[in-house]
């Protein structure tokens, strides 16, 4: 297993620890672990390209690690009433929709290669930043409500736009696979 894949796998293994820390209200440790996990996302991608170790496993493991980390943090903070329920629903629904969409592409024998669009990269960054700010507020007892509110709206908007973009692309892929373009 390559170093970038080990880093992605480590991010997956950090998920239960993150959930435990947040549920125990150990926000400072959760904040630092979340920052390390978020940074590892950039590091594994950089190393995979730099070391020419891009693999099918990494192409699957990396986005799954991101989704597991983000969804678990959002849901866990939501259970504690730290993130608005509507935002959690949007984030989780989009990720479920992506999984279902990939399965449908498989069923229709369409091109299943996932090429993240710029809006999806912005969305992931916004989700990471928002969760980090919420955890930072809780860890260091800093009041940044206006910033958190603004970031929350940004996450909601980019989540909806990203989900719509995936639907648009998948529709084209399925039509192309069926010869109905």
pLDDT of 172 reads: 82
Residue ranges in 80-144 assigned as alpha helix (H): 85-107, 118-140
Q: Which fold has domain 3-177?
A: 1.20.120
Residues ≥6 apart with Cβ < 8 Å to 92? 71, 74, 75
Q: CA-to-CA distance for 88 and 86, rounded, in angstroms?
A: 5
> 12 phi and psi, to 5 degrees?
-60, -45
Contact between residue 97 and residue 163 where contact means Cβ atoms under 8 Å apart: yes
pLDDT of 51 reads: 92
Kindly report whether the global pTM for this prediction surpasses the value 0.85: yes
pLDDT averaged over 10-residue windows placed end to end, the chain, 181 residues: 94 97 98 96 90 88 92 97 96 92 77 76 95 97 91 98 92 76 51
Give the residue extent of every domain in the chain: 3-177
Q: CA-to-CA distance for 110 and 177, rounded, in angstroms?
A: 5
pLDDT of 175 reads: 81
pLDDT of 114 reads: 64
């Amino acid at each position: 297993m390559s170093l970038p894949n080990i880093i992605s796998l480590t991010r997956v293994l950090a998920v239960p620890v993150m959930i435990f820390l947040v549920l125990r209200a150990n926000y400072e440790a959760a904040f630092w672990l979340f920052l390390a996990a978020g940074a590892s996302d950039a590091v594994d991608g950089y190393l995979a390209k730099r070391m020419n170790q891009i693999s099918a496993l990494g192409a699957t493991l990396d986005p799954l690690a991101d989704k597991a980390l983000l969804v678990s943090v959002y849901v866990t903070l939501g259970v504690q009433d730290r993130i608005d329920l509507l935002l959690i629903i949007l984030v989780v629904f989009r990720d479920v929709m992506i999984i279902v969409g990939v399965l449908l592409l498989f069923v229709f024998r369409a091109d299943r290669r996932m090429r993240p669009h710029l809006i999806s990269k912005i969305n992931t960054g916004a989700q990471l930043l928002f969760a980090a700010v919420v955890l930072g507020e809780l860890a260091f007892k800093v009041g940044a409500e206006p910033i958190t509110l603004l970031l929350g709206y940004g996450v909601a908007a980019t989540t909806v736009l990203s989900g719509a973009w995936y639907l648009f692309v998948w529709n084209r892929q399925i039509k192309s696979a069926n010869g109905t373009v």
